[in-house]
Amino acid sequence: MEAMIYLLRFAFDALLMILIMRVWLQWVKADFYNPLSQFIVKVSNPLVVPFRRIIPGLGGVDLATIIVAYVIATLKFVTLAALTGENLGLLAFYIGLLVMLKQAGFMLFVIMVIMAIMSWVVQGYNSTLMVFHQLTEPFLNPIRRIIPNMGGLDLSMIIAFLLMNVLNILLSNSLPYWSAL
């Protein structure tokens, strides 16, 4: 049973990350022709395109993808709770929203860690690093305006990590104990 729950969690989380990444790439107007962007779009199209015909975008925001991601996040906990004998009721809708927020924060954290490692290793132009830079700029630029570079050292990622951990703790405290399924 644990192996099945693990595989289901992995499948739901992977799908949720792809959907969130699709919205995020559209939001920051990342390079559409980048291989990472192309992969995300091609993998998510079978799920999103049918709903885009029904649900229009709003002000440049892809509402269809957001709604599909929300449904996937909610279904994750409904399915896992049903397998463990729990009944979530209406609480599943609240948990689905929090899970989407936590997943987006986790993805931002991972992308910033990868960017930091790649900045030490990669020399010259790298298309993946450029997309990651486009994805993180809306979050790091406000911090850079407050805390400038100190002798070539950019502290904005450290401050962002600190703020994201505080938000993660606050979100984790608002989730019930069994939502870590």
What tokens does 175 get?
């989730």
Q: Is 153 helix (H, G, I), strand (E, B) or coil?
A: strand
Report how far residue 92's alpha carbon sits from residue 88's, in angstroms, rounded to the nearest whole number.
Answer: 6
Q: Alpha helices, DSSP H only, in the chain?
A: 2-27, 35-52, 63-84, 91-121, 127-146, 156-174
pLDDT value of position 181 = 43
Domain count, the chain: 1
pLDDT value of position 175 = 63
DSSP code at position 149:
-
Q: Which domain holds residue 48?
A: 2-180
Other Cβ atoms less than 10 A from the Cβ of 7: the count is 10
Q: Which residues pair with 58 in a beta bridge?
A: 61
* pLDDT tens, residue order, the chain (181 aa): 788 889 998 999 999 999 999 999 999 988 888 898 999 999 999 999 898 888 887 877 888 999 999 999 988 888 888 887 777 777 778 888 888 888 888 899 999 999 888 878 877 788 888 899 899 999 999 998 898 777 777 788 889 999 988 888 887 776 655 445 4
pLDDT value of position 178 = 46
What tokens does 14 get?
């992977």
pTM: 0.84
pLDDT value of position 85 = 78
